Amino acid sequence: MKKRLIVISVFTILAISALSAQQIVESIVAVVGNEVIYLSDVEGQVVQLKAERDPTPVDELRCRVFEDQMIQKLFLDQARIDSIEVSPENVEADLNSRLTEYIRRAGSEQALETYFNKSMAEIRKDLREMLTNQYIVQETQGTIAQNITVTPAEIKKYYNTIPKDSLPLVPRKVQLSIITVEPPDMEASKAEVRQRLLDLRSRIINGESFSTLAILYSEDPGTAPRGGETGFATRGELAKPYAEAAWSLKKDVVSKIVETEFGFHIIQLIERKGDMVNSRHILLKPKLSSDQTEWAILKLDSIASLVRNDSLTFQRAALMFSSDKATRANGGKMVSENPSDRVNWMTLDELSKEVNLVVRNMKLGDISEPFRTTDSKGNSIYCIIRLDDEIAPHRVNITDDYNYLSDLALRDKQNKTYQNWIAEKIKRTYIRVSEDFRDCKFHYSGWFE
């Protein structure tokens, strides 16, 4: 049985604290160094996991949760000994981001307060404490594993320990280049959108419901069903022009037209609390006329012909003609939109539906016919793409997937280091455990010694 490192979701931990003192007797069930674990810490998480349909029997689940929490306390105790601290700014930034997501998921601040049976101030305090502890544990683990590396021999040995029929399947991966064009006379399309928003704004000012009109007309699929309501967000989570407009509004006032990379908006402030704001908006996007669509297709056709006839390289054509600012500077090369994984190799599932369908039937070096898709902001675009390189679907092997296996081998070595550290730390730490958990079958021995 492999030991799972402790990464408890903050939403789950918050749910633990939602249980009132009347429901669970607030007694200490373990002392680990200078850290304590309360019965409510354990029982609350068990309740939450069962609510999430964890199939583990309750008694076994309670023991697993309890040991997980004792392990976390070992790391926190070591952090205290080593005087490990974390940046309050990083914690606060993460706190705001997560709290925004929880409010969005719950539907409103009031709904979140009802769910946890706590005020927003109390929820924020609990979340800050939990995040701080998680950051400290991560820093401590980083210190323990900071000098761990793997050699080529260790990577090969790790690979050979994996049964061949258990090796994961790697899906087809591709490298693509893209050229998009922006048709002329877009100002006319933009003017039409502005006029439509002015008409909607007038109707709202004259008494019609902003929410109803957002449901009927807004082109933001994420907020339109909710009457345009975005949920609470910080400035950094909103497009800059949108944030500036929202923060300048008074409650229930409707903004002038605001342009962002997503399109054109009118905004109404619902509520502002500290560094967060809740607003609703109506989003409209400029549409291409049939003439503009035809122009885009003909333009892309001519560019593709130049490249196919070797009159121009694809990279040079992208630099000269592409309207896609994100790829134009690097010759049209597409990269993953995941900010933590900005690489050229992408699986088909990472591509938009339209690009996915086109790429499926392409061969290496092919340049597609012009087609319509949407960019990362949800705007319609016309483009051509080239299949630059591909890796066929296959089972992981040491020749094609050396870097992937290197990461797996490193994580495996780190996990073993953590396990050895935990076993030794248990021997060197004052630990007192309630007799209520003596019948548990823990992964690590020594908790009761």
Burial class (CB in 10 A: 0-12, 13-18, 19+), 398: middle
Q: Give me the pLDDT at residue 338, please.
A: 57
Q: Convert 237-265 to b/e letters by CB count within 10 Å (16 or more is b).
A: bbeeebbebbeebeeeebbebbebebbbb
DSSP labels for 105-149?
HHSSHHHHHHHHTS-HHHHHHHHHHHHHHHHHHHHHHHHHHTT--
Q: Give me the pLDDT at residue 26, please.
A: 66
- Decide: 179 and 383 in contact? Cβ < 8 Å: yes
Which of 249, 284, 319 terminates a domain? The answer is: 284
319 and 203 in a common domain: no
Q: List Cα–Cα distances, 299 to 34, 289, 293, 321, 322, in angstroms.
A: 70, 15, 10, 9, 11
50 and 194 in a common domain: no
CATH at 195: 3.10.50.40
401 located within any domain: no
Q: Give me the pLDDT at residue 213, please.
A: 96
Which of 261, 284, 307 terminates a domain? The answer is: 284
Give the 3-state secondary structure of 347-416: EHHHCCHHHHHHHHCCCCCCECCCEEEECCCCCEEEEEEEEEEEECCEECCCCCCHHHHHHHHHHHHHHH
Amino acid at 133: N
280 and 319 in a common domain: no
Amino acid at 275: D
Q: Give me the pLDDT at residue 22, please.
A: 40
Dihedral, CA atoms, 82, 27, 71, 99, nearest 10 degrees? -80
> Measured at the alpha carbon of residue 318, what is the angle toward residues 317 and 320, in degrees to the nearest 5?
65
127 and 18 in a common domain: yes
Q: Which domain holds residue 243?
A: 186-284
242 located within any domain: yes
5 located within any domain: no
Q: How many structural domains does the chain have?
A: 3
166 located within any domain: no
Residue 243 CA to residue 449 CA, distance in Å, equals 57
130 and 29 in a common domain: yes
325 and 179 in a common domain: yes
Residue 275 CA to residue 273 CA, distance in Å, equals 6
Q: Give me the pLDDT at residue 5, please.
A: 37
4 located within any domain: no
What's the pTM? 0.62
Q: List Cα–Cα distances, 391 to 38, 270, 400, in angstroms.
A: 52, 50, 9
Residue 325 CA to residue 336 CA, distance in Å, equals 15
364 located within any domain: yes
178 and 193 in a common domain: no
- Give residue for tokens 């697993």: 64
156 located within any domain: no
CATH at 147: 1.10.4030.10
Q: List Cα–Cα distances, 446 to 61, 83, 106, 368, 428, in angstroms.
A: 20, 26, 42, 64, 10
415 located within any domain: yes
Which ranges of 39-108 does DSSP label H, i.e. alpha helix?
39-51, 58-81, 88-106
Q: Give me the pLDDT at residue 377, please.
A: 75
Per-residue pLDDT of the chain (449 residues; tens, 9 = 90+): 333 333 334 444 444 444 443 444 468 999 999 999 999 889 878 887 886 788 999 999 999 999 999 999 999 999 999 999 888 888 888 887 788 777 777 777 788 888 778 888 888 888 888 889 989 999 999 999 999 999 999 999 999 999 988 898 889 999 999 999 988 777 888 899 999 999 999 999 999 999 999 999 999 988 999 899 988 888 888 899 999 999 999 998 999 999 998 999 999 999 887 778 889 999 999 888 888 899 999 999 999 999 999 999 999 999 999 998 888 888 999 987 655 455 688 889 889 899 999 999 999 999 999 999 887 777 788 999 999 999 999 999 999 889 889 999 999 999 999 999 999 999 999 999 999 999 999 999 889 87
252 and 346 in a common domain: no
Which of 263, 284, 305 terminates a domain? The answer is: 284
18 and 119 in a common domain: yes
264 and 134 in a common domain: no
243 and 110 in a common domain: no
328 and 199 in a common domain: no
